[in-house]
Amino acid sequence: MSLKNFYILGEGSNTLFLSHTAPVIIQPKFMGIEIKEDENFYFITAGSGENWHQLVTYCVNNGYAGLENLALIPGSVGAAPIQNIGAYGVEISDVIDAVYWYELATQHLHKFSKEQCQFAYRDSIFKQQLRDKGIITKVILKLPKVWQANISYQGLDLLDTDPTVEQVYQRVIEVRQAKLPDPKFKPNAGSFFKNPVVDLKTYQRLAQQYPNMPAYVQANKEVKLAAGWLIEQAGFKGIKKNGVGVHDKQALVLVNHGDGSGEAIYQLALEINQKVYEKFGIYLQPEVRIVASNGFIGNGEFHG
Ligand SMILES: Cc1cc2nc3c(=O)[nH]c(=O)nc-3n(C[C@H](O)[C@H](O)[C@H](O)COP(=O)(O)OP(=O)(O)OC[C@H]3O[C@@H](n4cnc5c(N)ncnc54)[C@H](O)[C@@H]3O)c2cc1C
C-alpha cells in the first residue's frame, strides 16, 4: 500500500473516497480558454480547472471540431490527460499538442509534448512515473481545420454518413444519457474497472469456454476483453448491497443508491474482482482512484 498525505483533486468524478476524512486536498483552479491557429490547425489552450464538457461544448459551438465524441465525460480539463480519457472511438491523446505540468519538488513548469506524455489505454506518464509529483496547469489541444466525423462506434453509426459536428455531439450525449447513470442523481465514478488486456493464449483458452465473449484484438496481438461482460457473467449486474450496487444497464459502473459508503463500494469491488478471478482467471484493475483518509491506495495492490 502506498500512502501519502495529500491528494490532487479535479472534480472527483474518477475518485472514490473511502471515508469522510481525507488527506490534504489540492484542487488546481487554473482557468481560461485561448484559441490560436495556423494554416491547418486550431490550437485550444485550456486551464486545468476548466470543466471538460463545457470546453467540448464551447468548441462545438464555435466551430472547432474534433472533441465531440468526448462530450459529457465528467471532470476537469486537468484530469483528462491523466488517464487519457476516451469514448466512442476517440481518446484525448488523438488531439493533445502539449501538457504543462508543474513539478512540486523542483517548482519548475515543464512542457510535455504528446510523445512525452506516453499515452496508452487509460494511461499516461502522469499516472505512472509522475503520479502525485506535480500538477497539470494547462493543456493545449490541436484540432485539424479539415474535419472528418468519427462515427464508426456502435450507437453513432445510426447517424447519416455525413453528419455535422453538432449532430455527432448531440448523438454522443443522447447515447451516454441512455446508458450511464448521471452522477448528480446516482453517485458513480463511471467505469470502475479498466477493460483487461490479455495475451492471445489466455484469450484462446477463454474463447473455447465462452464463445460469445466480446473481444477486441489489439495492434500488438494482445486482446482487450470487456470488463462489464465479465462482471455480468459473474452474476453482479443490477445487484444491490449495503446501499451500493452494480448498475442494471452497465455492469462496469458501481453506484451508490443514496445511503452507501465509500467503504461499501470498495468491498463490493473487491468481491467482484475475486469472483471474476475465480470464474475467468483474470484480475481486474480499477480505473478509479481510491483515496483513504490518510492517503492514496495504489491500484496495484487492489486485490492483494
Ligand atoms: C458517469 C461517468 C462517466 C464517465 N465516462 C468516462 C468515459 O467515457 N471515458 C473516460 O475516459 N472516463 C470516463 N469517466 C471518468 C472521469 O470522467 C475521467 O477520469 C475524468 O477525467 C475525471 O476528471 P476529474 O476532474 O473528476 O478527476 P478526479 O477524479 O478529480 O481525479 C482523477 C485523477 O486525476 C488527478 N488529477 C486531477 N486533476 C489534476 C491536475 N490538475 N494535475 C494533476 N493531477 C490531477 C487526480 O489526482 C486523480 O489521480 C466517467 C466518469 C463518470 C462519473
pLDDT value of position 236: 97
For ligand 1, say whether the CB of 85 is within 6 Å of any of its atoms: yes
Q: Which residues of 12-43 are buried (b: 16+ CB within 10 A; e: fewer)?
A: bbbbbbbeeebbeeeebebeebeeeeeeebbb
In angstroms, the CA 260 to CA 187 distance is 10
| Nearest CA among 244, 247, 208, 210 for reference residue 230 | 210
Look at residue 303 in the predicted model and tell me its pLDDT. Answer: 54
179 vs 67 pLDDT, higher one: 67
- Residue 49: CB within 6 Å of ligand 1? no
Task: Take residue 194 and report the three cell numbers written for it.
Answer: 479498466
Exactly one of 76, 93, 124, 191 is catalytic; which is it? 191
pLDDT in tens, 190-246: 999 999 999 999 999 999 999 999 999 988 899 999 999 999 999 999 999 999 999
Q: Which residue has the higher pLDDT, 293 or 147?
A: 147
- Among the options 68, 122, 131, 289, which is catalytic? 122
Cα of 54 from ligand 1 centre, angstroms: 15
Query: Is the shortest distance between the CB of 180 and ligand 1 below 6 Å?
Result: yes
Ligand 1 site, residue 137, Cβ cutoff 6 A: no
Higher pLDDT, 258 or 60: 60
Cβ of 73 closer than 6 Å to ligand 1, yes or no, is yes
Chain-centre distance of CA 66, in angstroms? 18
Mean pLDDT taken over the chain: 93
Q: Is 191 a catalytic residue?
A: yes
3.40.30.10, 2.60.40.420, 3.50.50.60, 3.30.465.10: CATH of 31-179: 3.30.465.10
User: Which residue from 15, 30, 73, 119 has its CB within 8 A of the most atoms of ligand 1, so it is best to mutate?
Assistant: 73
Describe the strand order of the beta sheet including 295-297 as a list of residue ranges: 15-17, 289-292, 295-297
Question: Does the C-beta of 10 come closer than 6 Å to ligand 1?
Answer: yes
Beta bridge partners of 35: 44
Q: What is the pLDDT of residue 258?
A: 86
Kindly list the domain boundaries of the chain, sorted by start residue.
31-179, 188-301
295 within ligand 1 shell (Cβ under 6 A)? no
State pLDDT tens for residues 148-204: 998 888 788 777 788 999 999 999 999 999 989 999 999 999 999 999 999 999 999
Would the CB of 93 count as within 6 Å of ligand 1? no
Does 115 participate in catalysis according to the annotation? no
Strand partners, 295: 292
Distance 184 CA to ligand 1 centre (A): 15
**The three grid cell numbers given for residue 127, joined into one nine-digit string:** 499516472
15 Cα–ligand 1 center, Å: 7
* pLDDT bracket for residue 5 (50, 70, 90): confident
Distance 75 CA to ligand 1 centre (A): 5
Which residues does 227 contact at the CB level (< 8 Å), separation at least 6?
Answer: 191, 193, 194, 195, 196, 252, 284
* CATH class belonging to 188-301: alpha beta
Residue 172 CB: number of other CB atoms within 10 A? Answer: 25
- Find the 77 Cα to ligand 1 centroid distance in Å: 9
The band of 304, judged by pLDDT with boundaries at 50, 70 and 90, is very low
Q: Respond yes or no: is residue 287 known to be catalytic.
A: yes
pLDDT single digits (tens) 131-141: 989 999 999 99
